[in-house]
Structure 1
Amino acid sequence: MSTKNQSQTLDILEVCLLAGKIMLRGGAETYRVEDTMMRIAAAYGITHSHSYVTPTGIIFSIDRENVTKLVRINDRSTDLQKVAKVNSISRMISNGNLSVREAFEELKEVERDAHAYPILIQILAASIASGCFLIMFNGSWHDVLPAIIAGGFGFSSMLYIHRLVEIKFFAEFLASLLIGLLSIAFIVTNIGVELDKIIIASVMPLVPGLLITNAVRDLMAGHLVSGISKGAEAFLTSFAIGAGVAVVFTFIHF
């Protein structure tokens, strides 16, 4: 393999890995990440490629070139806008509208982009969602405001604690504990009426809905490692939320 061809192959490899990295960190399913990477490689003339994706890493290999690279994924969130942008870039590559260098620059720009929604908007959305969940669970309109306050406070606490301690389980546990304490305070001060409805509605923004969906989808697609690992992560998150509320009821007999 000539030096020029080797350099071009490595550039294509970097484009594929960068696209997969952005998608996986944004909350995309494992099968979608693998399919996108292989489609990009095929669009640039590499028809024999293999990708292996787990929630914590990506391995991409090109046959006949003896080129393999691993990318470690340390943090994941939910940013479907970036996933959509990478899909759009992938389609442009498949249509022959982007060179390797242009595609890499476009992907780097997507990676540098801030989250689709600022933190204040996320907290506001979590607050409104908590109030809506309370009504959906047949709660009283009198409890809408306590649910909005508790849900927004719990979600903001989770974001803040997660910045201080990079253990997501710990952040979700403390956030649900604070939601339980605040909900009890609303009941004691006669601001709220139904404690259970307030707590359930307030913790809903913390529930890993996308993670559970992706776990089931990956299992159905045959990606057993990714499906089981995502399911385990969702289980730990749910356990942390339940444990936080349980601790409040254990030490405060209300």
Structure 2
Amino acid sequence: MERQTVTVEKICLLAGKIMLAAGAETYRVEDTMDRIARAYGVEHPQSYATLTGLHFSPEYTSNSYFLRITKRATDLHKIDNVNQLSREIVAHQIPLEKAYSKLETLENNVPTFSLSFQVLAASLVSGCFALMFGGTWPDFLPACLAGSIGYLAMALFDKMIEIRFLAEFIGASFIGLSAASCFLLGFGASLEMIIIGAVMPLVPGLPITNAIRDLMAGHLVSGVSKGVESLLTAVAIGAGIAMVYGFFPV
């Protein structure tokens, strides 16, 4: 099968897609696409990124290209790799075809930790946050247990139903059940500290930060969209904990 011709538009859209799907700020995505286009001879590139799509045009009055973004995650390693590649392109160190090949490899390469390792990390993070927010050492192990159970439930339901907010609601519910059970059985000194520590792995810290940075950079559409998405996540987490308190008052 004959390989399709590599164009500047394809490289810019692929670079933007990788960054946006990995959780990059929209102004950073647009800046990277513009720099790559100028490095390959485009004088007036027009890039526009939103939370769910990319637009790119090589000139003011030429054709506009659109790419839909359906799934997003947090992968700072991919963002850094695209940034490094764009620096090499701007320095005129990589030809068009080689740059596109590297981007394709980067897009298909999805290095991730195993679910068991993620659960272990969430467990330790939960216990440490419980201590950091004012808990005591008796709260450490219950927070670790509740955090690991909640994160595992969220990850499993996210794969089954593919509705992130519902998966986070279910994960928070399991955290509330686990924390309340430990507290009622005499493990832990403060139920509030256990829950606060355990929900931290689910809190959308990076999306909130990106929303603020996009708003400060003047990208109002993306900033508001990310802010609303973060707010919905926070509501899902709070609703999951509140449901447990409603059914099992402690």
Regarding TM over 0.5, the answer is: yes
TM-score by length of 2: 0.95
* Structure 2 counterparts to residues 88-103 of structure 1, below 5 A: 88-103=84-99
Quote the RMSD (CA, aligned, Å).
1.4
The Cα offsets for residues 190-239 of structure 1, whole Å up to 9 and x where unpaired, read as 12221111011000110000000000000000000000000000000000
Indicate if the aligned counterparts of 2:130 and 2:194 stay in contact, CA closer than 8 A: yes
Indicate if the aligned counterparts of 1:20 and 1:37 stay in contact, CA closer than 8 A: yes
Q: Could you tell me which of 32, 38, 45 is aligned with 1:49?
A: 45
> SS at 1:67's partner residue?
coil
Tell me which amino acid in the other structure corresponds to 2:28.
R
Q: Could you tell me which of 194, 198, 204 is aligned with 2:200?
A: 204
Tell me which amino acid in the other structure corresponds to 1:55.
L
1:184 and 2:180 are equivalent in the alignment:
yes
> SS at 1:33's partner residue?
helix
Range 155-164 or range 116-125, more displaced: 116-125
- Counterparts of 1:143 and 1:162, CA distance in 2: 28
Calculate percent identity across the aligned residue pairs.
Answer: 49
> SS at 2:24's partner residue?
coil
> SS at 2:233's partner residue?
helix
1:13 alignment partner in structure 2: 9
- Counterparts of 2:249 and 2:31, CA distance in 1: 53
2:75 alignment partner in structure 1: 79
- Counterparts of 1:140 and 1:36, CA distance in 2: 46
- Counterparts of 2:74 and 2:226, CA distance in 1: 14
Q: Measure how far apart 1:125 and its partner are.
A: 1.7
TM-score by length of 1: 0.94
2:119 alignment partner in structure 1: 123
> SS at 1:87's partner residue?
helix
1:152 and 2:140 are equivalent in the alignment:
no
Tell me which amino acid in the other structure corresponds to 1:138.
G
1:4 alignment partner in structure 2: none
Unaligned runs of 5+ in 2: none
Q: Measure how far apart 1:47 and its partner are.
A: 1.5
> SS at 2:186's partner residue?
coil
Tell me which amino acid in the other structure corresponds to 1:201.
G
* Structure 2 counterparts to residues 18-29 of structure 1, below 5 A: 18-29=14-25
CA 1:64 to 1:54, structure 2 compared with 1: closer, same or farther past 3 Å?
A: closer
1:32 alignment partner in structure 2: 28
CA 1:217 to 1:64, structure 2 compared with 1: closer, same or farther past 3 Å?
A: closer
> SS at 1:59's partner residue?
strand
> SS at 1:192's partner residue?
coil
Unaligned runs of 5+ in 1: 1-6
* Structure 2 counterparts to residues 167-182 of structure 1, below 5 A: 167-182=163-178
Indicate if the aligned counterparts of 1:130 and 1:147 stay in contact, CA closer than 8 A: yes
Number of residue pairs matched? 247
Q: Measure how far apart 1:121 and its partner are.
A: 2.6
Tell me which amino acid in the other structure corresponds to 1:81.
H
Q: Measure how far apart 1:187 and its partner are.
A: 1.0
Range 230-239 or range 138-147, more displaced: 138-147
